[in-house]
Amino acid sequence: MLKIENVSKTFFPGTVNERKALVDVSLDLREGDFVTVIGSNGAGKSTILNTIAGRIPQDRGQVLIDGKEISKQPEHKRAARVGRVFQDPMAGTAPNLTVEENLSLADRRGAVRGLARAVTGSKRERFAEELKVLELGLENRLKTKVGLLSGGQRQALSLLMATFSKPKVLLLDEHTAALDPQRAELVTRLTKQVVQAQGLTTLMVTHNMNQALDVGNRLIMMHEGRIILDASPEEKQRMTPEDLLHRFTQLKGAALDDKTLLQ
Ligand SMILES: Nc1ncnc2c1ncn2[C@@H]1O[C@H](COP(=O)(O)OP(=O)(O)OP(=O)(O)O)[C@@H](O)[C@H]1O
């Protein structure tokens, strides 16, 4: 479904600031796979999401959705097929627009022209229905400016907006990290719910080992631009956070040893 083939990305190549963010990364996701992505700071987790979304062009390799190469498509062209939620609750919504105007924009994502913000009666009813699922009472606040909502409410709305046009792929970049534990739990629960209901193929970056094991059916671990572990559903189910940390230390060490050997 989502295929990443031998993707590499180096920032500032040939300079003192050179950063190899992705080194020959390949990944194959089946329809409905929900993959959690963990790794150290600077491992390349966000960069991989950025190359799928089209925010950053890769230097080499291909990104395919349903067998179709999308690497040349600009970000806005991919938006209808690739939904995304960021860490910052401010990033996914327009604060000066109302809840219903934001939803209307999300509803029209990928459409060519038209009054994207305009909200008709039937649409309003549909939006209210969709909002009810969040259990935050936002269905009664359709005309509230989004800037007045709490971080958790905005993030829940961002999630709904990212999945509104039934994307092929959902990218979650530490989308619960900026929330307090209670709201993070709520948004995690909503995420599971929405991904399952729509059967979305999903990649979720997290620094939280418990969350990485609790959510999804597959887990990958990245280090210095490479995937160093791709845990199957069975393997993931058996793992504890301690196992995961232990594997990380082991594999990280092995990656370093390999590099030393190659020098
Ligand atoms: N736009 C950019 N310009 C220059 N360097 C970048 C850019 N984006 C990422 N990098 C570099 O690429 C490497 C991978 O960064 P990336 O943000 O993908 O890591 P990450 O695994 O998401 O890290 P974190 O967990 O800290 O968010 C890092 O060395 C980073 O400094």
239 CA to centre of ligand 1 in angstroms: 28
The boundaries of the domain holding residue 247 are 2-262
Helix, strand, coil share of the chain (percent; to 5): 40, 25, 35
Quick check: 48 and 25 in contact, CB under 8 A? yes
pLDDT, position 255: 63
Domain count, the chain: 1
What's residue 257's pLDDT? 59
Pocket flag, ligand 1, residue 11 (CB < 6 Å)? yes
CA distance 167 to 54: 15
CB contact set of 114 (below 8 Å; sequence gap of 6+)? 108
CATH number at residue 134: 3.40.50.300
Please give the number of the atom of ligand 1 that sits closest to the Cα of 205: 22
CA 201 to chain CA centroid, Å, is 10
What predicted TM-score, i.e. pTM, was given to this entire model?
0.91
pLDDT in tens, the chain (263 residues): 999 999 999 999 999 999 999 999 999 999 999 999 999 899 999 999 999 999 999 999 999 999 999 988 998 888 889 999 999 988 889 999 999 999 998 887 755 545 556 677 888 999 999 999 888 999 999 999 999 999 889 999 999 999 988 899 999 999 999 998 988 999 999 999 999 999 999 999 999 999 999 999 999 999 999 999 999 999 999 999 999 889 888 887 766 555 554 44
pLDDT at 135: 85
Residue that is written with structure tokens 């997290």 in the block: 206
Kindly state the tokens that stand for 244. Answer: 């995961």
- Nearest atom within ligand 1 for CA of residue 207: 25
Residue 236 beta carbon below 6 angstroms from any ligand 1 atom: no
